[in-house]
Amino acid sequence: MIAYTLLAGLLFGLYFSLVALGLNLVFGVMRLINLAHGDFLMLGAFLAYGLYSSAGVNPVYAIPAEIVAFVLAGVALYYAVVPRLLSSRDPEMLSFILLFGLSQIIEALAVIAFGNDQRAIPATVFGIHPVSLFGQTFPAAWAVSAVVSAAAILAVYFYLYRSRLGHATRAVMASRDEAASTGINVHRVSAIALGAGLALAAIAGAFSPFMLGSIGPDMGIRITTVSFAVIVIGSLGNPLGTVLGGLVYGLGLMLMETYFPSWANLLPYVLLILILLIRPSGLLGKRVRLA
């Protein structure tokens, strides 16, 4: 039982890393908490659902469309809102109000467009046979989600640490004014980061019918809360710290689901409070302070 729980925790941990990765990337670059993060994940879920229900497209094949659509949406959202937001007198407070409002608008529009019903994509889309891992069997959808999540995390690693754009992105994360005075177009770099952040959320959304059970317009706020817990556990502002937070959350969730199922929904809040009490800068907090 424990081996199954731990392995399932790792699979879900990788998935929750992907869920929260975009939120942390955006926070790292812009120092803004995107309160509409979960709503963009929900939109990604509905895009994958729409492609499946209308054309039978496997969610894996929906990923390129998700990336294109959400990178463009992120870049457009950035230039429409963020430069003015950042130049305001109180960008943090204003961003909370604005992004919370955006979250509510997206949810309301989604209710109008899709209705309140919960939707699902049958897990058989990935085949009817379970996947065996270290002697334990898991639904194929879990394994595919974990593999896609790991690939997305690797892509973010190469983007941030092995590309010229990534070096500029990390420079902006370290100091926006110094980066700009070095000749970096911080708005372009930040717009791409927001686009990447939304695209990561959308990819996670494509697999949410399998990992979260079902999708609905009201899922956004819950996802944002979980994502926030994950990045606080790992470390705010350090995108790759999200992986540690995701794994802790995934393992915690599976242990709770197995041994204390009726308490499992409290996990993000309990972990959030614990980490803020014990190590407020997150498990990789030292690096955050230096970042």
Partner 1 sequence: MSPSAPLLSVERLSKRFGAFQALDGLTLELAPGEVLGLVGPNGSGKTTAINVISGVYSADAGSILLDGRSIGGLPIHRRAHLGINRTFQVPKPFRGLTVGENLEVAAVYSRADRAEIGKCLEFLELAPLVGREAASLNSAQQKRLDLARALIARPRLLLVDELGAGLNPVELQRMAQTLTTIARSGVALLVVEHLLGFLRELTTRVVVMDAGREIFEGSLEVAARDRQVIDVFLGG
- Least distance CB 171 / partner 1 (angstroms): 4
CA-to-CA distance for 49 and 205, rounded, in angstroms? Answer: 10
CA-to-CA distance for 247 and 52, rounded, in angstroms? Answer: 29
Q: Does 177 bind partner 1 (CB under 8 A)?
A: yes
Q: Does 206 bind partner 1 (CB under 8 A)?
A: no
Residue matched to tokens 């926030």: 228
User: Can you list the pairs that 160-169 forms with residues at least 24 positions away whose Cβ atoms lie under 8 Å?
Assistant: 160/239, 160/240, 165/189, 165/192, 169/29, 169/193
* Part of the chain binding partner 1 (CB under 8 A), chosen from 65-73, 99-107, 181-189, 267-275: 181-189
Give which of 205, 193, 188 is closest to 239, Cα–Cα: 193
Q: Per-residue x/- marks for partner 1, 152-171, CB under 8 A?
A: ------------x--xx-xx
CA-to-CA distance for 242 and 232, rounded, in angstroms? Answer: 8
Q: Where are the beta strands (DSSP E) in the chain?
A: 131-133, 136-138
- Least distance CB 186 / partner 1 (angstroms): 7
Q: Does 42 bind partner 1 (CB under 8 A)?
A: no
Q: Does 290 bind partner 1 (CB under 8 A)?
A: yes
- Least distance CB 32 / partner 1 (angstroms): 19
* Closer CB to partner 1, 278 or 290, in the complex: 290
- Least distance CB 188 / partner 1 (angstroms): 9
Q: How many residues bind partner 1 (CB under 8 A)?
A: 22
For residue 109, give the DSSP letter. H
* Closer CB to partner 1, 173 or 253, in the complex: 173
CA-to-CA distance for 224 and 23, rounded, in angstroms? Answer: 8
* Closer CB to partner 1, 15 or 27, in the complex: 27
CA-to-CA distance for 130 and 243, rounded, in angstroms? Answer: 25
For residue 271, which amino acid is it? L
Q: Does 212 bind partner 1 (CB under 8 A)?
A: no
CB atoms within 10 A of CB 121: 23
For residue 183, give the DSSP letter. T
* Closer CB to partner 1, 28 or 252, in the complex: 28
Q: Do the beta carbons of residue 173 and residue 290 sit within 8 Å?
A: no
Q: Per-residue x/- marks for partner 1, 115-154, CB under 8 A?
A: ----------------------------------------
* Closer CB to partner 1, 168 or 275, in the complex: 168
- Least distance CB 290 / partner 1 (angstroms): 4
* Closer CB to partner 1, 31 or 287, in the complex: 287
Please report, for residues 71, 120, 249, the alpha-carbon distance to residue 76 in angstroms, rounded to integers and kept in the order given. Answer: 9, 30, 32
* Part of the chain binding partner 1 (CB under 8 A), chosen from 33-41, 179-187, 205-213, 226-234: 179-187
Applying CB under 8 A, which residues contact partner 1?
164, 167-168, 170-171, 173-175, 177-187, 287, 290-291
